[in-house]
Amino acid sequence: MMNYKLNANHIFVQEDDLMKIISFADDEFSPSKFLILQKAAASNESERAMSMDKIHIQIEDESRSSYGGISAVRLSGENLVLSLDQEARLVLQIEGDVEIGVDRSHHNFESAVLELKRMCQSDGVEFSP
């Protein structure tokens, strides 16, 4: 089973009153591989009924996106691994998990990990630093 692998030379974190966004890309200005994680600050009953209150994950384009589906996140050395359930793998069109090579010295690394940990906690997703 092949994991989706991304070497993140660029890490972006944005948080406002409505949305938290974390993105990892192979290049800041013209990425060929990227992953975006988003989580709304609040959700209504109908959004919760459709699981739209869960972490939204997108790989490379809108057709490869899903709400929820992340079963665990772990930081292992220079890799951030997102374990996905079978349904998310089908929607995201990948066979295995998401493996992101990260540079721990990147200026946004610590804030990305902190925001991702918060997202996981609010969704009940296991996070292993």
State pLDDT tens for residues 26-64: 999 999 999 999 999 888 888 888 888 999 999 998 999
Decide if pLDDT at 71 tops 90: yes
> What is the structure's pLDDT at 11?
97
Decide if pLDDT at 1 tops 80: no
> What is the structure's pLDDT at 51?
81
Decide if pLDDT at 66 tops 80: yes
Amino acid letter, 112? A
Q: Is the pTM of this model over 0.85?
A: yes
Local confidence band at 124 (pLDDT 50, 70, 90 cut-offs): very high
Amino acid letter, 13? V
Decide if pLDDT at 73 tops 90: yes
Reference 23, options 84, 95, 87, 108; nearest CA is: 108
Please list the residues that pair with 79 across neighbouring strands.
Answer: 76, 101
> What is the structure's pLDDT at 50?
83
